[in-house]
A = this chain, B = another copy of it.
Amino acid sequence: MTTQNAPRTARERARAELTREITEEARRQLAATGANGLSLRAVARELGMASSALYRYYPSRDDLLTALIVDAYNAIGEAAETAIADTTSGAGRARWVAACHAVRAWALDRPHEYALIYGSPVPGYRAPAATIGPAARVPLAFVGVLAAAIADGEITVGEVTDGEVTDGEVAAGADHGADALTGALADQAAALSAALALAPSAPNTAVVPPGLLVRGVAAWTQLFGMISFELFGQFVGSFEPADAFFAHTIAQSATSVGLP
């Protein structure tokens, strides 16, 4: 098996380059006018070619959109991962906070790309399966921070019994992994915790218990709620600019997932 990543013929090289140019021009137009303003004809015009030529590269407008969506998910995921990897000093808390700020910075820099993946769905567009993996990178990055913090003993988690979680209330104290979960939520969280433990991406890190996972997802939704409100104008007249509010609330969210 030989690696075939690099194009060999002139044709293949030209095709790879033009594909990149088309995608870049499309991203430029997306940034300028949003997803609805993106048109194949305009991209072709800007590149000085016939609009029909684009169909050699993308079979339809939706496929071009999908490529942009996948790119955006990968880019914001990479921003989070890089921020975590680059935070070598300090503990899990510093990594958590750095990831949140990196995600926000990415979004403020590219509001239309952010809106493409976290705003209202594009009408008539059905996200294909290829977007699922890239979309998971940001949440997985946060889970990774929690798992590492558990492995390092920074977060104290309670005992997790095999199978069903009992319905009894557990007093919530400093033990952030042992929130009382009941019914459907207990099942969903347990299944997710188990699935994450088996994931190949995290071979020898700790298991994140269901209770902590739920707190993590709550923090994750709040992070994106804040960014969306900031970008879409809901803070106008109150906490705008939102830097201070964001920093303050992220600090509280780090505490809420048990990061000291």
Contacts and interface: CB of A to CB of B under 8 A. Distances in A.
Interface of A: 33-37, 115-116, 118-121, 123, 127, 132, 135, 181-185, 188-189, 192, 214, 217-218, 221-226, 228-229, 232-234, 236-239, 241, 243-245, 247-249, 252
A173 to B, nearest CB: 14
Given A188-B239, A225-B222, A119 B245 contact: no
A244 B184 contact: yes
Contacts of A121: 115, 232-233
Given A183-B244, A214-B249, A244-B184, A229 B239 contact: no
B221 A120 contact: no
Nearest to A232: B121
B184 A34 contact: no
Nearest to A115: B120
A198 to B, nearest CB: 15
A169 to B, nearest CB: 12
A100 to B, nearest CB: 13
Contacts of A222: 218, 221-222, 225
A118 B252 CA distance: 24
Contacts of A183: 244
Nearest to A187: B244
Contacts of A232: 118-121
Contacts of A188: 238-239, 244-245
29 contacts: A33-B123, A34-B120, A35-B120, A36-B36, A115-B119, A115-B120, A116-B120, A118-B228, A118-B234, A119-B120, A121-B232, A181-B248, A182-B244, A183-B244, A184-B241, A188-B238, A192-B238, A192-B239, A214-B245, A217-B238, A217-B239, A218-B222, A221-B226, A222-B222, A223-B225, A224-B225, A225-B225, A225-B226, A228-B228
